[in-house]
Structure 1
Amino acid sequence: MARIAIKLTPGAASDRIDGWDVDPEGRPVLKVRVRARPVEGGANAALILLLAKSLGVARSAVSLARGGQSRLKMIEVEGLDDAERRDRLTGM
């Protein structure tokens, strides 16, 4: 199982992955923007769908492990290890 730290920006003009950054503690985070607003889990659902498409996995393989109400989230992806995740997200 691969884990991905995410910094989510809801209410953006388009759904997109902006690339890698570091959090205040120096850990890598993937910056993601979604059009959906953070109402009734809409932004989290849009995030999961975007990541599933980008990683080439089923939506059911992507889950929110931590940060449901926060901009900083931890996503788990079943069926991928960290090396595969890194390969699929290279250049993002």
Structure 2
Amino acid sequence: MEYHYHWNADQLVIDCHLQPGARQEGIVGVHGSRLKIRIAAPPVDGRANERLLRFLAEAFGVPLGQVSLLQGDQSRYKRVAIRRPSRLPAEMGIARR
């Protein structure tokens, strides 16, 4: 069984399936082995990536500087890292190590 996240020391790494240009933002649930996230920003000039990072920073209670895009700059399939998350939203299905 594959999971949509893993821990690397104090860093949470999440594999996402991004749906840009959505009417409502939020977590849809697990889509295959990725966490599906809807973002209102369009996939133009990096705006969807920027909004995704801000969305995750808000959801995990960390400053924007603690969230980074590791893979998938030009793809719907992304890998992001969140350093030392202060909270783990229940709807994301993530457990503390």
TM-score normalised by length of structure 2: 0.77
Q: CA RMSD in A?
A: 1.6
Q: 1:65 maps to what in 2?
A: 70
Q: 1:25 maps to what in 2?
A: none
Query: 2:64 is aligned with what amino acid?
Result: R
1:10 aligns with 2:10: no
- SS across alignment from 2:88: helix
Q: Distance in 1 between matches of 2:78 and 2:23?
A: 21
Give the number of equivalent residue pairs: 82
Q: Could you tell me which runs of 5 or more consecutive residues in structure 2 were left unpaired when the two chains were aligned.
A: 1-10, 93-97
Runs of 4+ in 1 over 4 A off after TM superposition: none
Shift of 1:79: 1.7
Identity %: 37
Q: Could you tell me which runs of 5 or more consecutive residues in structure 1 were left unpaired when the two chains were aligned.
A: 23-27
Structure with bigger helix share is 1
TM-score normalised by length of structure 1: 0.81
- Higher relative CO (Cα under 8 Å, sequence separation at least 6) belongs to 1
Q: 2:46 maps to what in 1?
A: 41
